[in-house]
């Protein structure tokens, strides 16, 4: 340690949770420019939209795409748009407001889908203002990546069209586990006809296997949980959210609310050793 290390400056640290538990961190891996509407799309009045599945904690952010002919292939977008439309229908997330019936569906936006990331430790957002550091806890972190599920829809369509003679590339999900008996499809039947891709695969497997009745326990617990989770999520309805960019008035309001207004010194019960004692062994 250096002997003449002294404090150069001190900033008081404020903590507030005015916006808790709604403050989240959204990460966009692979995107290294800011999230904004391309100028050409702004001209035609498009905005970024967002929607949320509250129970499943899943968010989607839809960003309009730049469809100038120099950088966008309109023909392809129509093709893929059809795939997306079908994908939406399958997943029951068709938004009647957004669909225009009079023209071909086009791919007009990039959809970013969120994945909740577990926190390690306590995450806080900090802003330095007027010589003080203001902290605010973050409750959730989500990573948003573009979804390409419309490609799956197109793939399925083309595979069905081709029939039994499908090439090796379009394989029907991961091959069934040789040690595990393939799952049976009675749960999806009970559920109804809303099912999408996942149920179809399960049904197909059932046809393949010989003695289909003996195993409720054949579905491993983990897989069952996952399937249930997926189904629960699909049943959850999307809630539209009004998206306000960083420069808008509402965002400024929320931003101001972030800050601690009070200068009272707070007390705490815990000690440094609390960190040690609450470390969880793995």
Partner 1 sequence: MSGTPGPSNTGKAIASLAKMPATDTTRAGTQKMKFIPTLPIRRKKEEVKQEPAAAPAPTPTGAPSERGGGRGQGRGRARGDPSRGGGRAAAPPRPPPPEMTASGPFAMGPSLAGSSAWRSGPRVSSIPTAPRGPPDPAALGANLTKTAAPALKKEERVESRVHVDDDAEVYSDPDEGVEIVDMRNVHTMDWMAPESLKWESARDRSKKRAAKVEKEEDELTPDKGKAKHGPITTEGPPVDDVGDINFANALDLSESEEEEVMENIIDDFARDGEDQSLRQERLYFFQFPSPFPSFVSKSSEPSDPGEQSHVSEHQVKRVSFSADTKPPASVPEDVDKDQPPPHVDGVIGQLEIYKSGAVKMRLANGILLDVTAATQSSFLQQAVHVDRATKNLRVLGEVGRRFVATPDIDSLLEAMTQADEAAIAKVETEGLLPMDTT
* Stretch 101-130 residues interacting with partner 1 (CB under 8 A): 118-130
Q: Judged by CB under 8 A, does residue 97 bind partner 1? A: no
Among 140, 154, 182, 185, binds partner 1 (CB under 8 A): 140
Nearest to partner 1 of 33, 210 (CB atom): 33
The footprint of partner 1 on residues 245-264 (CB under 8 A) is: 245-248, 250-255, 257-258, 260-264
Residue among 155, 30, 34, 28 nearest 87 (CA): 155
Output phi, psi for 65, to 5 deg. Answer: -105, 160
Q: Footprint of partner 1 on residues 4-33 (CB under 8 A)?
A: 4-33
126 CB-near residues (< 8 Å, 6+ apart): 133, 134, 135, 136
Nearby residues of 115 by Cβ (< 8 Å), 6 or more positions away = 142, 143, 144, 145
d(CA 138, CA 8): 30
Contact map string, positions 70 to 89, toward partner 1, x by CB under 8 A = xx------------------
Over the Cα atoms of the chain, what is R_g? Answer: 25
Query: Of the candidates 94, 135, 197, 227, which one interacts with partner 1 according to CB under 8 A?
Result: 135
Binders of partner 1 among residues 195 to 254 (CB under 8 A) are 239-248, 250-254
d(CA 37, CA 21): 28
Q: Is 3 in the site for partner 1 (CB under 8 A)?
A: no
**Measured from the CB atom, is 179 or 247 closer to partner 1?**
247
Is there binding between residue 269 and partner 1 (CB under 8 A)?
yes
């Amino acid at each position: 340690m250096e002997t003449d290390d002294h404090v150069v400056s001190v900033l008081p640290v404020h903590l507030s949770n005015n916006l808790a538990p709604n403050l989240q961190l959204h990460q966009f891996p692979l995107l290294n420019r800011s999230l904004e509407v391309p100028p050409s799309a702004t001209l035609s009045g498009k905005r970024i939209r967002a929607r949320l599945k509250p129970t499943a904690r899943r968010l989607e952010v839809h960003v309009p795409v730049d469809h100038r002919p120099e950088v966008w292939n309109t023909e392809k977008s129509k093709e893929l748009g059809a795939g997306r439309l079908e994908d939406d229908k399958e997943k029951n997330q068709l938004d009647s407001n957004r669909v225009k019936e009079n023209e071909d569906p086009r791919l007009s936006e990039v959809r970013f889908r969120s994945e909740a990331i577990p926190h390690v430790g306590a995450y806080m957002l900090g802003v330095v203002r007027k010589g003080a550091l203001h902290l605010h806890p973050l409750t959730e972190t989500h990573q948003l990546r573009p979804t390409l599920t419309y490609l799956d829809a197109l793939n399925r369509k083309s595979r069905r069209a081709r029939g039994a003679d499908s090439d090796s590339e379009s394989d029907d999900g991961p091959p069934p586990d040789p040690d595990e008996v393939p799952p049976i499809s009675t749960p999806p039947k009970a559920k109804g006809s809303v099912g999408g891709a996942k149920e179809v695969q399960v049904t197909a497997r059932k046809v393949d296997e010989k003695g289909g009745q003996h195993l409720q326990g054949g579905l491993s617990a983990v897989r069952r949980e996952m399937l249930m989770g997926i189904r629960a999520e699909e049943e959850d309805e999307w809630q539209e959210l009004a998206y306000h960019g960083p420069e808008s008035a509402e965002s400024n309001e929320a931003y101001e609310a972030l800050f601690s207004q009070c200068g009272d010194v707070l007390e705490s019960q815990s000690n440094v050793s609390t960190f040690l004692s609450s470390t969880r062994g793995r």
